[in-house]
Structure 1
Amino acid sequence: MKFLSNGITTSTALVLLLFVMWIIQLVLTYFQMKRFYKRVNTLRKSGITSIGMAGSFLKGRIYTVIVIGEDDVIVNAEKLSGMTVFSTLKPVTELVGQNINDILDETKAFSITKKERESFIVAIQGMKK
């Protein structure tokens, strides 16, 4: 067992370092969540709002926010994806002005990823319940 200059073993120092890094991750995640919900509250003023999620822990998750106006037309669509806590919601302008049934129709093509589309579908289905 190797001791550092202050009497702490190397393994103890490593465990403490991992614990501190985990706490920092939790704090940064908290601030990301606050930013996300602050943006969702802003979007909520534009119409009926729903949040969807697709993906997995290992392959990466994507969160989407969709805002529906009159006649089921999409007023705003945004996505949150990325592997860091510094990711923010980004607009998906291609979906704005589309009818939600167009998103649900698998025969219609959009230049969004399969995972993004799945997440928007989850948001739309959650809205219809």
Structure 2
Amino acid sequence: MACGVVATHLKIFPGDSVIVKGKILSGCQGFEVNLGKDCDNLVLHFNPRFDCKGDVNTIVLNSRKEGTWEEEKRESHFPFEQDSNTMVTFTFDANEIKVKLADEHELCFPNRLGLDNIEYIAVDGDFKIKVLKFA
């Protein structure tokens, strides 16, 4: 069961963070958090995959420019569990997005699009969002 939310016209500037808290649903294959200018221009596609698109217990990170996906980065550190609560914090700066996982592990992904602010966030997949906080 996919549960999604989309927010537009945001003004997230360098130094700002987005905190996403929610429940990973039982039987989850994967979920995603997308940040960027709009759905075709994503500075970060964050996609933990339990068993999806040929990946098992892998976090896929990517960006999308003018509707075209760029080169994926895969992360094997996978602290997520089905049927459990989690929190992920995304901190935006001019050069990269820092992703802090619930177990305090941190990932970094370059700001390939060179965005100076984030206006769009979308959360989708087998994930029930409970809190979307801007700090």
Q: Please give the TM-score of this superposition, normalised by the length of structure 1.
A: 0.34
Greater relative contact order (Cα < 8 A, sep 6+):
2
Q: In terms of Rg, which structure is larger? A: 1
Greater helix content: 1
Greater strand content: 2
